[in-house]
Amino acid sequence: MNAFVLAGGQSMRMGRDKALLEFAGKPLIAHALDKLRAIGQAPRIVASRPDLAAFAPVLPDAYPQAGPLGGIASALAVSDSEQNLFLAIDLPALPLSFLVWLAQRAEITNALATIPRLQGLPQPLCAVYSRALLPHLRTALAEGDAKVMRAVERAGTIDSFDIESVAAAESWPSPHGWFANLNTPAEFQNAVLEQSTRIQ
């Protein structure tokens, strides 16, 4: 399995570069990379930004205006692995144990896509995608449709599961903060305050 960090967003709602925002002592991009390295991966960054090469090898986004779907397609096009783990840069609360569980599930099922759901909503930016998806993603991009879930669901049956059920079975703490949005300064500040409260 290969692993990729999606860092191609323009951070327009944040008003500044999200990848380099300091959270708990290091940039968000470093949190994502460290998580993947901690589970035995050698992650690459998908982004049209050579400056991030200071953190890990950078894979240029072949579809820079197509959002995360373009980044996923760009990574699958060069991957030499059937299954590929993707992680967005703004999920610093995501525990390592969940990433390990997600990767193991994908290797067992070998599904086209393995996508968690939280409160019934899919979380496609922390998921595992098969290379077999690539033609379907390219078709969606050619048609101007950059919605990740729509493109993936059109490809066929996917493996989707409720994180709450898994967390309960594994005796993990509540997962409801794992996917908190970090798209605006207010959302980021709330996450920083919650982190400092946990540390105290």
pLDDT at 195 over 80: no
What's the whole-number mean pLDDT along residues 164-169?
A: 95
- Residue 189's pLDDT is 64
**pLDDT tens column, 168-194:** 999 998 998 898 877 665 665 665 546
pLDDT at 71 over 90: yes
Angle (nearest 5°) at CA 71 between 15 and 89: 50
pLDDT at 15 over 50: no
- Residue 11's pLDDT is 47
First to last CA, the chain: 37
Q: pLDDT-based confidence at 9, cuts 50/70/90?
A: low
- Residue 157's pLDDT is 87
- Residue 23's pLDDT is 86
Query: What is the sign of the dihedral through the CA atoms of 100, 125, 150 and 183?
Result: positive
**pLDDT tens column, 122-157:** 999 999 999 999 999 999 999 999 999 999 999 988
Q: pLDDT-based confidence at 18, cuts 50/70/90?
A: confident
- Residue 193's pLDDT is 47
What is the pLDDT of the chain when averaged over all its residues? 89
Query: Whole-prediction pTM value?
Result: 0.90
Per DSSP, the residues of 78-114 read H--SSEEEEEETT-TT--HHHHHHHHHHHHHH--SEE
Q: pLDDT-based confidence at 17, cuts 50/70/90?
A: confident
Phi, psi of 45 (to 5 degrees): -100, 130
pLDDT at 200 over 70: no
pLDDT at 16 over 60: no
